[in-house]
Structure 1
C-alpha cells in the first residue's frame, strides 16, 4: 500500500519503466536495424541536385498521391522488378539533429508508384511537360499542374531549358516555357528513383497472389516474339500515345512515320536503342532500349507492332535481323 500512496516512488518507478521500454522497443531495435540493414552495394547516393529535388518533392506534397513502395503482391509488378526490401531505404540520413528523414513510402496511390520511375520514364522532357501540364501527356490525369516551377519568356537565353509544350496548352503560342532550377531539381530526383539491383546470386522476394498468366499467342508467321502491344504500352505510350499520333509540338507521331515505314532498319533500331535528337520541333528521345536492356526479340516485337498498328502497313522483321544491327551499333 505504501507504493501506491508514495508519489515519489510512483514517479521514479514509472520513469524507469518508461525508459526501459524505450530502450527495448525503440533504441536497441533501431541500432540493430542499422547493423543488419545496410544499403545495397550498387546503391547510388543522391547528388546535391537530387537532394534539393527530394526536398521539393516533399514541399509540393507529392507524397500525398504517390507511393515509393513496391509491395510483394503481383499487382505491383508494373511498378518494379521486385518487391522492396529494408535495404532499399537504409541509405537515408537524418535531415538534421532534430528531424529524421522521411522514407516517402506514402500511403495512397492516387497516382502511380514512383519507386522505379527513373527506369520506366527516363525522359527529362516528358517529366518537365508532365509537371507543367499533366493533361498534355495523360488526358485523364487529375494531377495538378505545377506551373509555378516554370517561367514564360518571349526569347530563350543561354542555359535555358525549354519545355516542349503542345500549342493547345499555351496561353501565348509565341512564348517559350522555360524550366526553373526547382523544376530541374525535382526532375533530377524523379530520374534518380531506380530500383537497385540485388547482388549476384541473391534471389529477390517473390510477388505473391499471382494472377493466372495467359500465354500470348505467337505472332503471325510463328516468330514466337513477345507481345509487342504490351511492350509498347509499358515503354512508349506515355510519349507517343496509345493512338500512335504523339503530341504535336512535344513528341512525334508513329502513325504514318517515314522512319517506321521506311527501309532503313538500322536507323529504326538505333533510335530505339540510343535515342534521337535531330528534330528541334520535338523533345529529345532518350536511349529507351539501352536503359531498359532490350533484347533483339523485344526490339523486333516493338517494331512489328508499330509497323502494323494505327493503319501502318510496314514490313515485319525478325529477331535475327535486329540482333545483327544491335551488334553493329554497339
Structure 2
C-alpha cells in the first residue's frame, strides 16, 4: 500500500477509474436525466436546400468567426429579440449517425456578427450573394474574406436563362467584361442564412435580457408621455444601411440611392411607406427589397422614413406613426 506511488499499473488503473467515473457522473447521467428538448411550435425543419447550405456553412468554417447564440445580456439584444434557448437548436443538433454528433453552430468568437437572426435582419438574397462574393461591396469596413470559388465568371453570351447573375459593381470585378454567376453551392448557403430567424415564443417565454428590463419599461413610459419616435438613425443603421449604405448613396446596380430620391422626398410619404411595408422589386435594374411589415412597428417605420427624408440633402416633412398605421391598414384591406 505504501508503494502505491511506485506501482505504475495501479496508478494507471486508478486514473482510468477516476476518469470514467467522473465522465459518467458529469456527462452521461445528466444527459439521461435531462428532459427531451422539443422544437418550438413556430419552428420548421430545414428544407433539403437549406440543409445543403448548412453543410457548406460548416465546411467553409463560418463558425470560426460567427456565433449563433444570443446571450441573456443587454449587449446581445442587437442580435436577437430574446436570449437563445435549447429548443432553438432542435433541427441542427440531431446526430448525423450513431458515431457522429452534428457540428456545433454555437461558436465561441464573434469576429463577425452573430447570425442567430440574420435571416430577419438581412432577408434579401442579393445582399447575401454580394456579401459572399466580396463583403466590401456592401460593407466597406468588412474584414471578412470573400468566397469567389462559390461563383463563376461567364461571358454574357454564355449565360443560361436560369443562371443567377449577381450585380457586382465594376470596381470589384477581376474581368469587367464578364458577369458573375452564383453556383448552386452559393444559392444553397444563402438559403440556409435566410432561414436563420429566431422563432417566436408563446406565452410568457423566458427571462428578458439582464439589465434591460428597467430600461425598457422606462423607455415605454417616456414614449407614452412624450410621444417621441424611436432613434431613426440607429434603426436605419441596423436595418437599412447594409444595402442603401450609411451615406444613403446605395450600391450601383444592386441597391438604389436614397439621397436625392424623388420617392423619399415626395411631399406625400405613401409610396415610401408602402415600399418599406411591402418590399420592392425593380429587377433587373436593382435587387429585390424584402418587406418589413412583420419586422417593424409603425413607430419604427415612421422613425426610419423620417430619418431618410431629413438626411443626405433630402428635405421632406417628418412621417407620423399614425400615417404608417393608416397605410398598413389600407394594404391589408386591399389584400382581403
TM over 0.5: yes
Q: Match of 1:187?
A: 190
- Per-residue CA deviation, residues 230-267 of structure 1 (Å, 9 max, x unaligned), is 21111101000110001112111000001111245332
CA distance in 1, matches of 2:231, 2:184: 40
Answer yes or no: is the 8 Å Cα contact 1:277–1:285 preserved in 2: yes
Structure 1 residues 57 and 270: alpha-carbon distance in aligned structure 2, compared to 1, 3 A threshold:
same
Distance (Å, rounded) in 2 between the aligned partners of 1:279 and 1:51: 28
Specify the SS of the correspondent of 2:180: strand
Task: Go from structure 1 to structure 2 and tell me whether the alpha carbon gap of 1:3 and 1:291 turns closer, same or farther (over 3 Å shift).
Answer: farther
3-state SS in 1 of match to 2:98: coil
Equivalent residues of 1:89, 1:103 under 8 A apart: no
Q: Which residue of 2 aligns with 1:39?
A: 39
State the partner residue of 1:152: 153
Match of 2:144 in 1: 143
- Out of 198, 205, 208, the residue aligned to residue 206 of structure 1 is 208
**Aligned with 1:162: secondary structure?**
strand
Structure 2 residue corresponding to 1:282, chosen from 267, 282, 286? 286
Specify the alignment match of 1:131 in structure 2.
132
Equivalent pair of 1:167/1:249 in contact (CA under 8 Å):
no
Q: Are 2:273 and 1:273 aligned? A: no
Cα deviation per residue 1:276-322 (whole Å; 9 max; x = unaligned)?
112422111111x2241x22222222111111111101122322222
CA RMSD of aligned residues (A): 2.8
Q: Which residue of 2 aligns with 1:82?
A: 82
Aligned residue for 1:251? 255
Deviation at 1:42, TM superposition (A): 2.1
Secondary structure of residue in 2 paired with 1:320: helix
TM-score, length basis structure 1: 0.88
Give the Cα separation in 2 of the matches to 1:170 and 1:205: 48
SS in 1 for 2:280: coil
Shift in Å, 1:68: 1.0
Q: TM-score, normalised by structure 2?
A: 0.87
Deviation at 1:19, TM superposition (A): 4.9
Shift of 1:325: 1.2
CA distance in 1: counterparts of 2:248 and 2:9, whole angstroms: 77
Compared CA separation, residues 24 and 316, structure 1 to 2 (3 A): same
Closer, same or farther in 2 for the Cα pair 1:212/1:167, shift >3 Å? farther
Distance in 2 of aligned mates of 1:6 and 1:285: 72
Alignment of 1:52-131 (within 5 A): 52-91=52-91, 92-131=93-132
Kept in 1, the 8 Å contact 2:244–2:257? The answer is yes
CA distance, structure 2, for counterparts of residue 13 and residue 236 of structure 1: 61
Structure 2 partner of 1:167: 170
SS at 1:51 equivalent: helix
Q: Where does the alignment leave 5 or more consecutive residues of structure 1 unmatched?
A: none
Shift in CA distance, 167/212, structure 1 to aligned 2, threshold 3 Å: farther
Q: Show structure 2 runs of 5+ residues with no match.
A: none
| Residues 301 and 15 of structure 1, relative CA distance in 2, 3 Å threshold | closer
Retained in 2: the 8 A contact 1:3–1:10?
A: no
Aligned residue in 2 for 1:309: 311
SS at match of 1:290: coil
SS state of the match for residue 152, structure 1? strand
Q: Distance in 2 between matches of 1:264 and 1:278?
A: 21
